[in-house]
Amino acid sequence: MPHAQLFTPVSIAGLTARNRLWMPPMCMYSAAPLGEELGRPTPWHQVHYGARAIGGVGAVIVEATGVVPEGRISVNCLSLHDDAQIPSFSAVAERIHAGGAAAFIQLNHAGRKGSSRAGWLTGAAAPEEGGWQVVAPSPIPFDAGSPTPRELMEEEILGLVGAFADAAGRAIEAGFDGVQIHAAHGYLIHQFLSPASNRRTDRWGGDFEGRTRFVREVVRAVRARIGDAPVLVRISATDWTQEYPSDGRPGWTLADTERLAPLLARDGASMLNVSTGGNVPDAAVGGGVGYQVFAAAGVRRALGMNEGVPAGEPRIPVSACGLIVAPEQAEQILVGGDADVIEIGRVLLSDPMAPMAWAARLRATPDAPRQYLRATRR
């Protein structure tokens, strides 16, 4: 069979995933909003994630999971804030491993974008629906229709650093191979990074060093808590206010991300998952097939992956995502040196078995369960 890089193994911090076609986190809004079951995965999650693992992806990254109940995106999102929740998350990790994929979970605090209703509904959740007062680095609402968040105090920020570490420890105890820290899409860590949402004048704001302090502290704390297990970081490489074209407003930029990437690697990040946007609601986001690949390529260059990593610097892989809709397109991104891993989301929502079809298109040998191999014979 001809060689297809997409279906070759990739190593992340000593863990080997069977291929480079991964499932990114996508909220299912299917957890209980109130009571003892709040935030726990259900049989729906077990079936959903297990099916994608059986379909042949190299890794499954479970959806955004709050590190505290008030860190959820919606009242129906997952949360891993209590040891009593560990068994229900273990059941999900077991289903992913049974399908042959590596299992990661995305840890998040939604900040000012939290306390919403389920994704197919509109508006903020009322208290009787499980809603709460949202918080942020600065009291700036996401948009005109969003609530004004309460500004976080120093002790609360430090407490959230610990909450990320605690949730990571629970994830590893539940059987996940590693965790992903959500620093993208306008959620709390991204809110700290961007001058569009962080107007603080203390050590958690101001210049680049201050605005990046929170994510770096979180990465260090998670790394210390889970030892050698992989620590992935998902980042929005740009707010789209300073580039393509600039609209003159302050925002997080690709240049900022390229500056931050080597620092996160030194802090203990094992991989960077590169996306864009989500923090400025009316930014002119570039569109089209593969519209975010340029950002992954920039981060990969900043890490020295194409030229060779400088002495003493960690070598970590980078993933690309964003309307990657065909196997030939995915393969060319890898061959061209723009990324090490490809993440496909919407494709997998409609077709859990897409990796088998993509392998056939690239004339690669699919890593499918033997029970399904009849489907690959011509």
Could you list the active site residues? 187
CB atoms within 10 A of CB 49: 26
Cβ density class 348-372: b for 16+ within 10 Å, e for less: beeebbbbbbbbeebebebbbeeee
* CA separation for the pair 17, 154 (Å, rounded): 39
Which of 371, 346, 351 is CA-nearest to residue 361?
A: 351
Contact call for residues 247 and 285 (beta carbons, < 8 A): no
Contact call for residues 17 and 59 (beta carbons, < 8 A): yes
DSSP, collapsed to helix, strand or coil, labels residue 60 as strand
* CA separation for the pair 264, 216 (Å, rounded): 6
CA angle, 130 then 132 then 135, to 5°: 150
* CA separation for the pair 183, 189 (Å, rounded): 5
Q: What is the DSSP string of 254-285?
A: HHHHHHHHHHHHHHT--EEEEE---SSTT---
Phi, psi dihedral angles at 69 (to 5 degrees): -55, -35
Amino acid at 259: R
Residue given tokens 């930014």 in the structure block: 283
* CA separation for the pair 63, 1 (Å, rounded): 35
- Cis omega (within 30 of 0) on the bond before 87? no
